[in-house]
């Protein structure tokens, strides 16, 4: 398992993360990209703790996602199954597991202050933290995708399922975008990754 982890997370994180996996009896599966999630945790029918993480994540995002999912397992085991999935118990557990890993030998210097700030009150997804999401994207393999907040108002773009939208104005924290075919308006997270279409 250590050899497998070494392909996906920073070298200095392998030993402590392997220890967490063994300690919590995690059955880890590395899977193909899923558009709607980076990872998930569930307790299988057999009682096994199953965690899946997308294989296409960069090493820092993979590490954060894996610890996020282990935090679900640990929080459910400690506080019971009736807690909110991303409630206070999970936040506390995620902080406790993640903070020892926020070190310069694991994360690059430009990520450390953003991670320190994010983990004061972690959210359900690091994607909703615009500054952290953008900084993490810097370590992704090159892609033709753009963030919604980064494209001009009025731009036409395509999303993962092939639907085409026109970017509108910011409404509170999300952008109003009109689906070209139906004329319906949808709200987009500023960090949604889309394919910008040529005018």
Cα 164 to Cα 181: distance, rounded to the nearest angstrom: 8
What number of CA atoms fall less than 13 Å from residue 191's CA on the CB side?
13
Q: What's the predicted TM-score (pTM) here? A: 0.82
Alpha carbon 33 to its chain's center: 12
Closest CA to 24 of 40, 5, 43, 10: 43
- Domains of the chain (ranges; CATH) run 2-137 (3.30.2010), 146-196 (2.30.30)
Is residue 161 within 8 Å of residue 168, measured between CB atoms?
no
Cα 93 to Cα 90: distance, rounded to the nearest angstrom: 5
> Per residue, what are the HEC states of 5-17?
HHHHCCHHHHHHH
Per-residue pLDDT of the chain (199 residues; tens, 9 = 90+): 788 999 999 999 999 999 999 999 999 999 988 777 899 999 877 888 999 999 999 999 999 999 999 999 999 999 998 999 899 999 999 999 999 999 999 999 999 999 999 999 998 888 778 789 889 988 988 778 888 988 999 999 999 899 999 999 999 889 999 999 999 999 998 888 899 998 7
Is residue 63 within 8 Å of residue 17, measured between CB atoms?
yes
Cα 190 to Cα 15: distance, rounded to the nearest angstrom: 35
């Amino acid at each position: 398992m250590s050899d497998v982890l070494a392909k996906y997370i920073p070298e200095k994180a392998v030993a402590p993360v392997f220890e967490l996996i063994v300690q919590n009896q995690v059955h880890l599966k590395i899977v193909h990209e899923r558009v709607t999630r980076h990872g998930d945790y569930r307790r299988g029918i057999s009682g096994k703790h199953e965690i899946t993480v997308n294989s296409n994540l960069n090493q820092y995002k993979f590490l954060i996602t894996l610890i996020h999912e282990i935090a679900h397992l640990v929080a459910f085991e400690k506080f019971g199954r009736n807690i909110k999935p991303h409630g206070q118990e999970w936040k506390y557990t995620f902080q406790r597991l993640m903070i020892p890993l926020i070190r310069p030998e694991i994360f690059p210097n430009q990520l450390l202050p953003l991670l320190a700030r994010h983990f004061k009150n972690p959210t359900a997804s690091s994607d909703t933290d615009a500054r952290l999401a953008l900084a993490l994207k810097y370590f992704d393999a090159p892609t033709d995708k753009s963030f919604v907040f980064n494209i001009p108002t009025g731009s036409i773009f395509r999303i993962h399922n092939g639907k085409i939208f026109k970017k509108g104005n910011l409404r509170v924290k999300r952008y109003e975008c009109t689906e070209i075919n139906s004329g319906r308006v949808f709200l987009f997270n500023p960090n949604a990754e889309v394919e910008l279409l040529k005018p």
